Amino acid sequence: MDVFHALCRSYIEQAYLNSHQQDLFNAMDIKTQMQSIWSVSQYENEYNPQHNHSHCQISSVLYLKIPSMKPRNIPNKPKEKDGQIEFTFCQTDSVFTVGSFVTKPKPGMCLLFPNTLYHQVYPFQGSGERRSIAFNMTYKGFKKDSGIQIAGDSVNLYNETNHADTLPWRRLDNV
């Protein structure tokens, strides 16, 4: 769990740096909370349709095992997507933008992304198992000098105040 929290804190830091908000980031103590974590085991021709995640801010997939895959050779379908994960951030391709990012999973590859980003995993042909761990996290930024929350998950701030016993991460922390 320490590794997952460290990855998310690094991801958050890079997001603030890339958006030119380093001063805001430096003024905060960042706290991360695991919302959910699960394993995914897929075999030949299995896939995960396009979806995004809810009740979190950061989603991730860590690939543990990738079998040898061969193209499915379906007429009029791009073969280069077989077995890959695709992130869709725009509904239409044009000369000005590409609507998605596709990458070939490798063992040890860990991808972190905003929970709202749609993604899908394409089926593959080949014997063996494609295994990964997926998880969702939230974060909160607390002002260093006052302890007041100034960034991150405000939904769970309400829930922690009014419905503390029902939060999924409370159950995970007790495991």
- C-alpha to C-alpha distance for 60 and 111, rounded to whole angstroms: 5
Among the residue ranges 39-43, 133-137, 153-157, the one predicted with the least confidence is 153-157
Distance separating alpha carbons of residues 127 and 18, to the nearest angstrom: 41
The DSSP call for residue 144 is T
Counting every residue written for the chain, the total comes to: 175
- pLDDT, one tens digit per residue, over 50-101 is 999 998 999 999 999 999 888 777 777 766 788 889 999 877 767 777 788 8
Please answer whether residues 131 and 139 qualify as being in contact, where contact means their C-beta atoms are separated by less than 8 angstroms: no
Structure-token match 């992304």, residue found: 113
Give all strands of the β-sheet with 100-103 in edge-to-edge order.
Answer: 48-51, 118-121, 85-88, 100-103
Counts for the chain of helices (H) and strands (E), in that order: 4, 9
**What kind and span of H or E run contains 29?**
strand 28-42
Adjacent-strand bridge partners of 119:
51, 87
CA dist 126 and 162 (Å) reads 50
Instruction: Answer whether residue 23 shows pLDDT above 80.
Output: yes
Q: What percent of the chain has pLDDT over 70?
A: 85
- Which strand (E) or helix (H) includes residue 168? helix 168-173
CATH of domain 2-173: 2.60.120.10
Could you state, in order of their start, the residue ranges of all structural domains in the chain? 2-173
Predicted confidence at residue 168, as pLDDT, reads 56
